[in-house]
Amino acid sequence: MGCTPESFKRRTLADKHNHLNQTLTSRHLRMIAIGGGIGAGLFVGSGGSLSNGGPATVLIDFAIVGVVSGQSPIRLEALS
Q: What is the pLDDT of residues 22-50, one digit of tens each?
A: 788 888 889 888 888 888 888 888 888 88
Flag whether 40 is in a domain.
yes
Question: Does 51 map to a domain?
Answer: yes
pLDDT at residue 18 is higher than 70:
no
HSE-CB of 29 using CA atoms within 13 angstroms:
4
Buried b (16+ CB within 10 A) or exposed e, 36-63: eeeeeeeeeeeeebeeeeeeeebeeeee
Domain assignment of residue 6, yes or no: no
- Residue 73: pLDDT over 70: yes
Cα distance between residue 80 and residue 77, in whole Å:
5
Name the residue among 65, 63, 71 with its Cα closest to residue 38: 65
Assigned domain for 19 exists: no
- Name the domain count of the chain: 1
pLDDT bin (cut points 50, 70, 90) of residue 14 is low
Range of the domain at 55: 25-79
If one compares 56 and 42, the residue with the highest pLDDT of the two is 56
pTM of the shown model: 0.45
Domain annotation covers residue 1: no
